[in-house]
Amino acid sequence: MKGTIVPAPRRPVMLSFDDGPRPGTTERVLDALAARGGLDGWPLRAAFFTLAENPAGWFARRRLFAPYEVWTDKGSMAAHPELTRQIVAEGHCLGNHGGRHFWPRWPWFRRGDRVMALLREWERTVERVVPDMATDVASGDSCGEPIARAPYLLRTPAWREAVSRAGYRDVAGITSGDADPRADGDQVRETLLARLSRAEQADSDPARPIVLIFHDTRPLTAECLPAWLEAIEAAGHPLLDFDPSRC
């Protein structure tokens, strides 16, 4: 119709999830992605940046996690192999989140060889947990290329060195706000929409996807993800299958 104003397309969004897998929450996140699947019958593909281990005991975790860390009950591929296999079997990308969720600014993680050891621990865990899929995950055949994300998004020199030597694509993104222990579902929705708007303004390329970071270990995320995805689409942002080459 003459005079009709066609709104400008909003930047598309690709989804990612950190710190899992964890029973009781990861399954519900996978169900929400399956409900958003396409006509091909596959779920909306996301990237899951998983952990190899989450050590037991307060002292062991405090030597790993950031001083301000609240959510110490993280996921573990070693403890929950069935969830790891489900993630891969449903077509999602499996990414290296550092083996264990370490604070890269601790003095003992400022050396590239120590970071490399944690990356390799993750790889060995994948080989043990999903042996029939480990080659695809390690080579990136299941998702285009091997991917990694720094814990706390802290891409220190030691992290960059190790990831580069190990052959990973270093994937960042913008946080959704779901890790804020004070936030409820409505507050996270408003936070993520505001951050998507700022990210869009910071990049003039309307075709470049925004990588949004959630946490599949959070009960709030498991409960509210379907509503958040609806809000993202209602704001005009198409949801795309995760593709490392577009990060």
Q: Judge whether 53 lies within some domain.
A: yes
Q: Judge whether 5 lies within some domain.
A: no
- Alpha-carbon distances of 238 from 36, 232, 241, rounded to whole Å: 12, 8, 10
Are the C-beta atoms of residues 171 and 47 closer than 8 Å to each other? yes
Q: What is the pLDDT of residue 206?
A: 84
Residue 119: alpha-carbon gap to chain centroid: 16
Q: Judge whether 232 lies within some domain.
A: yes
Q: Judge whether 7 lies within some domain.
A: no
| Domain of residue 99, residue span | 13-246
Query: What are the beta bridge partners of residue 94?
Result: 48
Centre a 10 Å sphere on the Cβ of residue 11 and count the other Cβ atoms it contains.
20
CA-CA-CA-CA dihedral for 164, 104, 125, 54, to nearest 10: -170
Are the C-beta atoms of residues 13 and 214 closer than 8 Å to each other? no
Number of domain units in the chain: 1
Specify the CATH number for the domain of residue 73.
Answer: 3.20.20.370
**pLDDT tens-place values along the chain, 247 residues long:** 455 554 567 899 999 999 999 999 999 999 999 999 876 789 999 999 999 999 988 888 888 999 988 878 899 999 999 999 999 999 999 999 999 999 999 999 999 999 999 999 999 999 999 988 766 676 657 788 999 999 999 999 999 999 999 999 999 999 999 999 999 999 999 999 999 999 988 887 888 999 999 999 999 999 999 999 999 999 999 999 999 999 9
CA distance 156 to 191: 26
Q: Token pair of 246, please?
A: 């577009």
Q: At a CB cut-off of 8 Å and minimum separation 6, what does 227 contact?
A: 185, 189
Burial class (CB in 10 A: 0-12, 13-18, 19+), 40: exposed
Q: What is the pLDDT of residue 138?
A: 63
Q: Judge whether 4 lies within some domain.
A: no
Q: Judge whether 2 lies within some domain.
A: no
Q: Judge whether 1 lies within some domain.
A: no
Residues in the chain: 247
Beta strands in the chain (DSSP E): 13-18, 47-50, 93-96, 147-148, 169-170, 174-175, 210-215, 239-240
Query: What are the beta bridge partners of residue 96?
Result: 50, 148
Q: Is the pTM of this model over 0.85?
A: yes
Q: Judge whether 125 lies within some domain.
A: yes
| Three-class SS state of 50 | strand
